[in-house]
Chains A and B, each alone.
Chain A
Amino acid sequence: MWRVLSRYPRLLWRLQGVAGQALLAHKARSFFVVAAVAMGIAALTVIVASVDGARRKALEIVDFFGPDAVLVLGGDIENRPVGQRTNTLTWSDARAIARSLPGAYAVLPMRSVRAVTLRYGNKNHEAPTVVGATENYAATWNWPLSEGRDLSADDIAHGAKVALIGDAPAKALFGDASPIGRTVMVKNLPVQIVGRLSYRGFTGGGSDVSVDDRLIMPISTLTQRFNLDRNYFRGLRVRFHDPDLIGVHMENLRALLRHEHKLGPTIPDDFTIMSASEILKFLTAFTGGLVAFLGVTAGVAILVGGFVLANLMFLGVSERRVEIGLRKAVGATSGAILIQFLSEAVYLTLAGAILGVGLGVGLGESLSRLGMLELRLSPKIFVLSLAAALAIALAFGLRPARKAAGLDPIEALRGGGE
């Protein structure tokens, strides 16, 4: 075979034409191989795209959450004991953390109000979340403003009626116009928009509510005007200097809060500390099942494609004994026959790969439209599919091709005789 490759590049080229001609002559059979391989490659495409999509989403979440930050929520959200309160985090907790937790450099209390109607002129928009935050919200969340200014310490201190507006409500209420300086009715409270958050474009952990669909107000304003409990927060965001030590920081934080809340050794935590990696774990568990299912499907489909290829090729070799015998009689070496049949296999699986990527992209688009998967399509998918197709052709096509190459021309011609 290598002799053929090295000595006769022209022959190698001609054999491609021979292979192509033979495939066109056996269209029905070629179609089955292409279809079988395409199924496998389609499944492979979806799985690769979804794994990539999940990874990208994970990175976005880590990026949004911040690798150096943890979120403390009131109550044990995983297994809350009967009767445990969720309003357990206080200003005094926040002060204690800021004062005595080593490594912590920012403590941000958070509060939110759900499903608030915003009104501007005759336009209404229901914001799923209005967040109460402390100063420099955009800076601490690494969330650049596309225009305007951030919340200031003054705003917080005076309970100013100002707000940062997310991309979604800004579009809904103002269209393409700038929202800066406009006054929006938040329920019945007139609030001046001072800044606009840039478009983030992803949905947070597990829910399909876009993070862009929110309004940010000073926590003091929110507490006063919406009659929230003045003593407790829903959450506290704590940022640390050294992200590598986040595990240690979380333990220290837990010990401090247990001390603050005067919890005895037998009493469970009345709060939950989450880091970005914990949110990821939750998400991975959610998509992992689907990915595993698709992985098994892809493997089985590719295997089936390979067996279909091998069987139809064996059938083809016995049907085309005369052709093979004749080619050998008129001067084709075994290597030339091997290359012809392997080339036929490669073309079939490559056609299957191209069709399969198309099918997979289509399937993936519908799955992601149904919200079952987050997809990311990249050239890597195409390269992987071609590689898989090549592997199928070589792994499953080699034996039938060798059978063809090894035929004795006299026997082969006699087999086709009368």
Chain B
Amino acid sequence: MTGQTPPGQGEPLIRLTDVTRSYVMGGVANTVLSGVTLDIAAGEFAAIMGPSGSGKSTLLHILGLLDRPTSGSYRLRGQETGTLSDDALSHLRNQAIGFVFQSFYLIPYATALDNVLLPGLYSDAPRAALTRRAHELLEKVGLTAQARHKPSQLSGGQQQRVALARSLINNPDLILADEPTGQLDSGTSREIMELLAAINRDAGKTVIVVTHDPETAAYARRQILVTDGRVARS
């Protein structure tokens, strides 16, 4: 287990302070995020919106500990993440964050059940407890009958529901969804967003959705608009 400092008194789940991110390409520095300061409290359901190229994906990667800020501070659960090693970040991602992606990203040769179990493999939880929980989660997303199916045997909506169950297997505080409805029709999109809303409401998870679709964003109680690498409105 990573040595975690307890969350500071009254400190929000996520605190970004003056976060910048720039890439050097061909000798030219390209700034994607220029000074993002943002708090997101535990239990929020937020949508990060913005046109493509606005930096919202980069922001999501930083929030998901997949990328590090060039400068500035990111505190998650009251813990400064900038000083953590790569392995410590992996562990924190595993325990504290659940991911949902636009293209589902299920392992094609594994069953729905094994896909749900995937983050559990890299945790310390015992196998039996994980399997029990995976079955519960599959039941919650309505896929008990499809537990042994491969992703290719599932519809897009079903695949995304497997991904939702997967994001919850290690009981994380934070769910990050990157365009979760980007490849779904509007009916299926509504089902997925209802499920995300239920996860936020019933399980008390903090949910952050990145989207450019206003209908999807409408499910969130808070809209954060990113333009030109800055938070324009939160």
Instruction: Please list the residues of chain A having a beta carbon within 8 angstroms of any beta carbon in chain B.
Output: 3, 8, 10-11, 14-15, 18, 21-22, 24-26, 322-323, 325-336, 409-410, 413, 416-418
Q: Label chain A's interface by main secondary structure.
A: helix
Q: Which residues of A are found within 8 Å of B118, using beta-carbon distances?
A: 326-327, 330
14 CB contacts below 8 A, A to B, read A22-B109, A25-B109, A323-B107, A323-B108, A329-B66, A329-B93, A330-B99, A331-B91, A331-B119, A332-B90, A334-B86, A334-B90, A336-B122, A417-B103
User: Considering only CB atoms, which chain B residue lies closest to A336 in the complex?
Assistant: B122
Q: Are B105 and A11 in contact (CB under 8 A)?
A: no
Q: Are B110 and A331 in contact (CB under 8 A)?
A: no
CA distance A166 to B57 in the complex (A): 90
Q: Which residues of A are found within 8 Å of B64, using beta-carbon distances?
A: 329
User: Considering only CB atoms, which chain B residue lies closest to A330 in the complex?
Assistant: B119
State whether the Cβ of B114 lies closer than 8 Å to any Cβ in chain A.
Answer: yes
Q: Are A413 and B122 in contact (CB under 8 A)?
A: no
If A328-B90, A330-B93 touch, whether A11 touches B114 (CB-CB below 8 Å) is no
Besides the known contacts A3-B87, A336-B122, 7 further A-B residue pairs in the complex with CB atoms under 8 A apart? A8-B124, A22-B109, A25-B108, A327-B118, A329-B66, A331-B90, A331-B123
State whether the Cβ of B61 lies closer than 8 Å to any Cβ in chain A.
Answer: yes
Instruction: Please list the residues of chain B having a beta carbon within 8 angstroms of any beta carbon in chain A.
Output: 61, 64, 66-67, 86-87, 90-91, 93-95, 99, 101-103, 105, 107-110, 114, 118-119, 121-124, 127, 166, 170
Least Cβ distance of B222 to chain A in Å? 24
User: Considering only CB atoms, which chain B residue lies closest to A418 in the complex?
Assistant: B103
Q: Are A331 and B114 in contact (CB under 8 A)?
A: no
Least Cβ distance of A9 to chain B in Å? 11
The residue among B94, B103, B121, B124 with the most chain A CB atoms within 10 A of its own CB is B121
CA distance A416 to B105 in the complex (A): 9
Partner of A10, one of B66, B94, B124, B170: B124
Identify the 5 closest CB pairs spanning chains A and B, nearest first.
A331-B94, A25-B109, A330-B119, A331-B122, A333-B90
CA distance A21 to B109 in the complex (A): 8
CA distance A14 to B124 in the complex (A): 11
Least Cβ distance of B64 to chain A in Å? 7
User: Considering only CB atoms, which chain A residue lies closest to B166 in the complex?
Assistant: A330
Q: Which residues of A are found within 8 Å of B66, using beta-carbon distances?
A: 329, 409-410
Least Cβ distance of A282 to chain B in Å? 59
CA distance A200 to B100 in the complex (A): 75
CA distance A15 to B118 in the complex (A): 11
CA distance A173 to B108 in the complex (A): 72
Q: Are A11 and B109 in contact (CB under 8 A)?
A: no
Q: Which residues of B are found within 8 Å of A15, using beta-carbon distances?
A: 121
Q: Which residues of A are found within 8 Å of B109, using beta-carbon distances?
A: 21-22, 24-26
Q: Which residues of A are found within 8 Å of B67, using beta-carbon distances?
A: 410
CA distance A409 to B90 in the complex (A): 11
User: Considering only CB atoms, which chain A residue lies closest to B182 in the complex?
Assistant: A418
Partner of A410, one of B61, B122, B170: B61
Partner of A11, one of B86, B103, B121: B121
Q: Which residues of A are found within 8 Å of B87, using beta-carbon distances?
A: 3, 333-335
If A330-B93, A332-B90, A417-B103 touch, whether A21 touches B114 (CB-CB below 8 Å) is yes
User: Considering only CB atoms, which chain B residue lies closest to A25 in the complex?
Assistant: B109
Q: Which residues of B are found within 8 Å of A21, using beta-carbon distances?
A: 109-110, 114
Q: Which residues of B are found within 8 Å of A22, using beta-carbon distances?
A: 109
Q: Are A326 and B122 in contact (CB under 8 A)?
A: no
Q: Which residues of B are found within 8 Å of A409, using beta-carbon distances?
A: 66
CA distance A336 to B86 in the complex (A): 12
If A330-B93, A331-B94 touch, whether A18 touches B103 (CB-CB below 8 Å) is no
Q: Which residues of B are found within 8 Å of A329, using beta-carbon distances?
A: 64, 66, 93, 99
Least Cβ distance of A406 to chain B in Å? 11
User: Considering only CB atoms, which chain B residue lies closest to A14 in the complex?
Assistant: B121
Q: Are B101 and A330 in contact (CB under 8 A)?
A: no
Q: Are A326 and B105 in contact (CB under 8 A)?
A: yes
User: Considering only CB atoms, which chain A residue lies closest to B106 in the complex?
Assistant: A326
Q: Which residues of A are found within 8 Å of B123, using beta-carbon distances?
A: 331
CA distance A413 to B105 in the complex (A): 8
Least Cβ distance of A1 to chain B in Å? 10
User: Considering only CB atoms, which chain A residue lies closest to B127 in the complex?
Assistant: A14
Q: Which residues of B are found within 8 Å of A328, using beta-carbon distances?
A: 90
Least Cβ distance of B140 to chain A in Å? 19
